[in-house]
C-alpha cells in the first residue's frame, strides 16, 4: 500500500460522499412518499363520499387513485433501494478503513479479503443507487402523466365553456 497517509483517506472519501448522496435521496424520497400517501388519502376520501362512480369526475378520481397507488409503491421500492445503498456505502467505508489499518500489521490475506468485500459491497451500493434512481424516474413519469391528463381535462372544459358563452351571445 502507498505510504502516503492520504491514500487511506481517498479510499474512505468516495464511499462517504456517496453515503451522503444516498442520505439526501432518502430524505427527498421520503418527502415524495409522504405527499403521494397524502394525495391517495385525499382521493380515497373523495371517492368514499361519492355516490355515482360512473360519472366522469369519479372515473378520473379512480384513475388518479390507481396512479397514486403505483407512485406510492415505486417510491417505497426506491426508498428500500436507497437504504440498501446507504448501508452498502457505509460498509464499504468501514471495510476500507479496516483494510488500511491491517496493511501495516501484515495481515495480507485478510486485507485481500477486505478489498474484495469492499469492492463487492460498493458495487451492490452503486447498483442500488442506480436502481432507486430509475424507480424515481418511473414515479415522476406517472406524476407527469396525471398532470397532463388533468390539464387536458381542464383545457377541454374551458374551451367548452367559451363555446357555450359565445353561443349565448
Domain count, the chain: 1
Is residue 152 situated within a structural domain? Answer: yes
Is residue 168 situated within a structural domain? Answer: no
**Residue 52, φ and ψ in degrees, nearest 5:** -115, 110
Is residue 94 situated within a structural domain? Answer: yes
Is residue 86 situated within a structural domain? Answer: yes
Is residue 50 situated within a structural domain? Answer: yes
Q: How many residues does the chain have?
A: 169
pLDDT attached to residue 169: 61
Is residue 135 situated within a structural domain? Answer: yes
d(CA 91, CA 127): 15
Is residue 131 situated within a structural domain? Answer: yes
d(CA 107, CA 99): 9
The model's pTM is 0.80
Q: Which residues contact 139 (CB under 8 A, 6 or more apart)?
A: 32, 36, 70, 71, 74, 75, 78
> Could you tell me if 88 and 125 are in contact, meaning their C-beta atoms sit under 8 angstroms apart?
yes
Q: Please list the pLDDT of the chain residue by residue as tens digits (169 residues).
A: 456 666 666 666 777 788 888 999 999 999 999 999 999 999 999 989 888 888 888 888 999 999 999 999 999 999 999 999 999 998 988 888 888 888 788 888 888 898 899 889 999 999 999 999 999 999 999 999 999 998 998 888 888 777 777 676 6
Q: Which residues contact 96 (CB under 8 A, 6 or more apart)?
A: 8, 11, 12, 15, 114, 118
The whole domain housing 69 covers 5-163
Is residue 145 situated within a structural domain? Answer: yes
pLDDT attached to residue 7: 64
Amino acid at each position: 500500500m502507498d505510504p502516503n497517509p492520504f491514500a487511506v483517506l481517498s479510499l474512505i472519501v468516495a464511499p462517504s460522499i456517496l453515503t451522503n448522496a444516498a442520505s439526501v435521496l432518502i430524505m427527498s424520497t421520503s418527502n415524495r412518499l409522504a405527499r403521494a400517501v397524502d394525495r391517495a388519502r385525499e382521493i380515497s376520501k373523495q371517492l368514499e363520499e361519492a355516490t355515482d362512480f360512473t360519472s366522469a369526475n369519479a372515473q378520473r378520481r379512480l384513475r388518479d387513485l390507481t396512479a397514486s397507488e403505483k407512485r406510492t409503491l415505486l417510491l417505497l421500492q426506491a426508498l428500500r433501494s436507497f437504504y440498501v445503498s446507504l448501508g452498502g456505502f457505509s460498509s464499504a467505508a468501514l471495510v476500507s478503513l479496516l483494510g488500511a489499518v491491517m496493511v501495516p500489521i501484515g495481515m495480507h490475506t485478510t486485507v485481500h479479503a477486505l478489498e474484495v468485500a469492499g469492492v463487492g459491497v460498493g458495487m451492490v451500493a452503486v447498483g442500488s443507487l442506480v436502481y432507486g434512481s430509475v424507480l424515481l424516474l418511473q414515479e415522476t413519469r406517472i406524476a407527469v402523466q396525471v398532470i397532463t391528463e388533468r390539464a387536458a381535462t381542464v383545457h377541454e372544459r374551458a374551451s367548452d365553456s367559451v363555446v357555450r358563452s359565445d353561443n349565448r351571445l
